[in-house]
């Protein structure tokens, strides 16, 4: 077991309090490390370091900052296997996908590097005697508060644009999944950036996260996580009216129309539902299946689910590992009990493994609910676990659109049909940020990721996402003035 330090101001230091806290391997429940228990005093140090670094880093030519981003992309590819192994140990990410997930985020830094160099302002013609022009400038000190479902990937998605555009960053990784963030800091140390350009501080959201959100020295908070925590951050950030980017939860509708390719849809949606043990904001949340194909789709979806290998995330054969923590496992099990109490029926799964080695880990077997209604808790709240929720059958396009939109969330939706014109009419009516038409999941740094309603504020990825990390300045020049 190892004891780690935080990276603040270009130095490895312990918490001001001298305290540490344990983290556990979710596959077996064993303690694997002790991390510094950061607090307000440590946040003050990190903010001070980031503020001192900002005038140095932000004034470097964009070409130089873009070269740094390209070097980070290379470091990620070179160290993807080790970083992936840390995610497997710390989070339970199946080893068959862990390294590729990390390496894939190298593209985010390359994309930011290329596009930051072309993110120019423009002139606005006012009159023959006046020049008005617009320019984008870095915001300042940005706090990146990231979730545990993809502990390293979510950091990289935010760090790429924030850093490349000239901001200095304070990374607050998830308290239970911080090892990959600290390894990332170790790699970034090799770049010899101005001290304080990037800082990593560990500890709980109730102290570190709240201190960052309310700190006067923090100019922006970019947060990904639960809607409840996002609202708390919004309230704290309002005290200093700082810039906010919030990527929150979803309860995403899947609509299976009667002309869909049922076999393809069932296999694709089963893979998406149980990927990362269902701990993905873009996972299906509610299945609406047309009455003509309901039984066929449910049968094929169940068959696809039964083929998934659940077990040791260090085994190359494993498709689905454990949930991230005992606390989250208990939360998911609470939703399962709620579904049963409210009258939903279990088709398969939902139980805890009783055999070793999974018995001691935080596993919940893939499960499928049917007969769920709009008012049930499992149909309205984000479960964030390996639980598929099948709603009652439908036979009306207008009605299913109404039910799909009956949610406080608006992150994404999946619509399966062979009739693209009909599918596009659905896409126009569903109140979400992303719609996949007969497609499982496509993400890329060129494409924006955003949500409607309580699913968030602002854009991740794309040129829109780059602009989130800049201030827009307007400058006027009187051309009639002479010496």
Give catalytic residues, as residue numbers.
247, 281
* Number of alpha helices (DSSP H) and beta strands (DSSP E) in the chain: 16, 23
Dihedral sign for Cα 284, 250, 146, 226, please. Answer: negative
Whose CA is closest to 42, among 199, 175, 152?
Answer: 199
> 3-state class of 318 per DSSP?
coil
User: 476 to each of 59, 123, 128, 132, how far by Cα in Å?
Assistant: 22, 10, 13, 4
Distance CA 63, CA 291 (A): 57
CA dihedral of 163, 166, 168, 173, whole degrees rounded to 10: -20
The DSSP-derived string for 101-138 is HHHHTHHHHHHHHHHHTT----EEEEETTEEEEEEEEE
All residues at 6 or more sequence positions from 16 whose CB lies less than 8 Å from its CB, including other chains: 39, 41, 42, 45
End-to-end CA distance of the chain: 71
Q: What is the DSSP letter of 291?
A: T
Distance CA 7, CA 342 (A): 48
Share of the chain residues as helix, strand and coil, in percent rounded to the nearest 5 = 40, 25, 35
User: Rounded to the nearest 5 degrees, what angle is found at the Cα of 451, between the Cα atoms of 473 and 362?
Assistant: 125
Task: For residue 341, give both structure tokens.
Answer: 């109490």
Whose CA is closest to 159, among 473, 465, 471, 472?
Answer: 465
Whose CA is closest to 222, among 272, 275, 273, 165?
Answer: 165
How large is the greatest C-alpha to C-alpha distance in the chain, in angstroms? 86
Cα-flanking dihedrals φ and ψ of residue 84, to 5°? -65, -40
């Amino acid at each position: 077991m190892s004891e780690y330090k935080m990276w603040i101001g270009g130095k490895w230091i312990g918490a001001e309090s001298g305290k540490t806290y344990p983290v556990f391997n979710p596959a077996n429940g064993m303690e694997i490390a002790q991390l510094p228990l950061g607090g307000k005093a440590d946040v003050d140090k990190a903010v001070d370091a980031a503020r001192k670094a900002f005038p140095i880093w932000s004034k470097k030519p964009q070409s130089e900052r873009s070269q740094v981003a390209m070097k980070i992309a290379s470091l990620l590819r070179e160290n993807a296997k080790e970083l992936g192994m840390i995610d497997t140990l710390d989070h339970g990410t199946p080893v068959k996908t862990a390294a590729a997930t990390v390496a894939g985020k190298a593209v985010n830094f390359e994309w930011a590097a290329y596009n930051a160099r072309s993110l120019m302002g423009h002139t606005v013609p006012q009159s023959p005697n006046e020049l008005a022009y617009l320019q984008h400038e870095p915001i300042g000190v940005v706090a990146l508060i990231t979730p545990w479902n993809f502990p390293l990937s979510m950091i990289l998605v935010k760090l790429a644009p924030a850093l490349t555009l000239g901001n200095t960053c304070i990374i607050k990784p998830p308290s239970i999944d911080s090892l990959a963030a600290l390894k990332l800091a170790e790699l970034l140390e090799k770049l010899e950036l101005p001290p304080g350009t990037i800082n990593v501080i560990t500890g709980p959201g109730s102290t570190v996260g709240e201190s960052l959100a309310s700190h006067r020295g923090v100019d922006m908070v970019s947060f990904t996580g639960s809607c409840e925590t996002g609202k708390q951050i919004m309230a704290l950030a309002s005290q200093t009216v700082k810039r906010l980017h919030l990527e929150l939860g979803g309860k995403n509708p899947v609509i299976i129309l009667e002309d869909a390719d049922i076999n393809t849809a069932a296999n694709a949606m089963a893979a998406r539902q149980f990927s990362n043990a269902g701990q993905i904001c873009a996972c299906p949340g509610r299945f609406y299946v047309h009455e003509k194909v309901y039984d066929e789709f449910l049968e094929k979806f169940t068959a696809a689910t039964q083929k998934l290998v659940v077990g040791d995330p260090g085994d190359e054969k494993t498709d689905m590992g454990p949930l991230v923590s005992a606390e989250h496992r208990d939360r998911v099990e609470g939703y399962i009990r709620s579904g049963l109490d409210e009258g939903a029926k279990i088709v398969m799964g939902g139980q805890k493994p009783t055999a070793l080695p999974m018995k001691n880990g935080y596993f919940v077997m893939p499960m499928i609910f049917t007969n769920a209604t709009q008012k049930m808790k499992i149909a309205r709240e984000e479960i964030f676990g390996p639980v598929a929720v099948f709603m009652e059958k439908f036979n009306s396009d207008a009605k299913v659109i109404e039910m799909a939109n009956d949610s406080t969330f608006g992150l994404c939706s999946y619509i399966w049909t062979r009739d693209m014109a009909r599918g596009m009419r659905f896409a126009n009516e569903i109140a979400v940020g992303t719609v996949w038409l007969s497609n499982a999941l496509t993400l890329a740094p060129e494409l924006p990721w955003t949500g409607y309603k309580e699913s968030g504020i602002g854009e991740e990825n794309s040129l829109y996402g780059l602009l989130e990390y800049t201030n827009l300045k307007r400058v006027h020049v009187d051309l009639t003035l002479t010496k």
